Amino acid sequence: MSAVVLHDYFRSSASYRVRIALNLKRIDYDQHAIDLRHDEQKGADFRRLNPQGFVPMLEIGGERLTQSLAIFDYLDAQVPEPPLLPRDPAERAHALALALTIACDIHPLNNLRVLRYLKNELGQPQAAIDGWYRHWVADGLAALEALAAPRAGRCLLGDAVTVADICLVPQLYNARRLDTPLDAFPTLTRIDEALTAIPAFAAAHPDRQAPTDQESSS
């Protein structure tokens, strides 16, 4: 496989997901940091690579891939083991539903660009913005807890890591960082604790990327 480059930001949830997936697949990659705090994602150079101006973007096999779940699908097709999605159609659908609850319902409402809009364009005070964040995270995690608990094992779906778990860990990392109470989600926090001990997850943690000393985004 040709050189692999991940354009990411160390605290970006979606970038964190892709780092986990690459580690699980044992794909070596180089990182190109895009500093969201300084709007590097809006620069002309990066926009030429990714017109959407988002991270992550993965350069692999001559392709420029965006959107974390689309990247997972590509990785599963190119490097089948370990699979990120179950082979059984019903289990595959359930794993995707759990992942999308995070990636489509929770995360977008609390992305840095949304929080910045609330502050800069709408003039909301920081207390209101923090309340917005915690409300939507808690609302989404309550649904995820209810969806996952009946079929959870060591992971969100049974005992094998799936895309759902890869999405869970970064979301809970950011929830804790912004002081969101998690006591009401025992299934999610139990699984998160086990997953973060797995080397592929641990190596992807924001504190193990550079820079580690700066304020951040979701």
* Structural domain contains residue 22: yes
Count structural domains, the chain. Answer: 2
Residue with more model confidence, 178 or 199: 199
The domain in which residue 33 lies consists of: 5-82
User: In what side-by-side order are the strands of the sheet with 30-33?
Assistant: 30-33, 5-8, 57-60, 63-66
CATH number, domain with residue 12: 3.40.30.10
* Structural domain contains residue 116: yes
Tens of pLDDT along 126-181? 999 999 999 999 999 999 999 999 999 999 999 999 999 999 999 999 999 999 99
- Considering the domain architecture, whether residues 73 and 175 belong to the same structural domain is answered as no
* Structural domain contains residue 207: no
1-15, 85-99, 175-189: segment of lowest average pLDDT: 1-15
Other beta carbons within 10 angstroms of residue 61's beta carbon come to 12
Is the separation of the CB atoms in 9 and 217 below 8 Å? yes
**Does residue 39 surpass a pLDDT of 50?**
yes
> Which structure tokens are listed for 118?
């609330």
**Does residue 217 surpass a pLDDT of 60?**
no
- Considering the domain architecture, whether residues 66 and 94 belong to the same structural domain is answered as no
Average pLDDT over residues 45-74: 90
* Structural domain contains residue 9: yes
* Percent of the chain clearing pLDDT 90 (strictly above): 82
**Close Cβ partners of 124 (under 8 Å, ≥ 6 residues apart):** 118, 132
pLDDT at position 214 is 45
Task: Name the burial class of residue 208, with classes exposed (0-12), middle (13-18) and buried (19+) by CB atoms within 10 angstroms of its CB.
Answer: exposed
- Considering the domain architecture, whether residues 14 and 117 belong to the same structural domain is answered as no
CA angle 90, 157, 59 (to 5 degrees): 85
Q: Mean of the per-residue pLDDT values for the chain?
A: 92
- Considering the domain architecture, whether residues 103 and 185 belong to the same structural domain is answered as yes
CA distance 11 to 8: 9
Average pLDDT over residues 52-67: 91
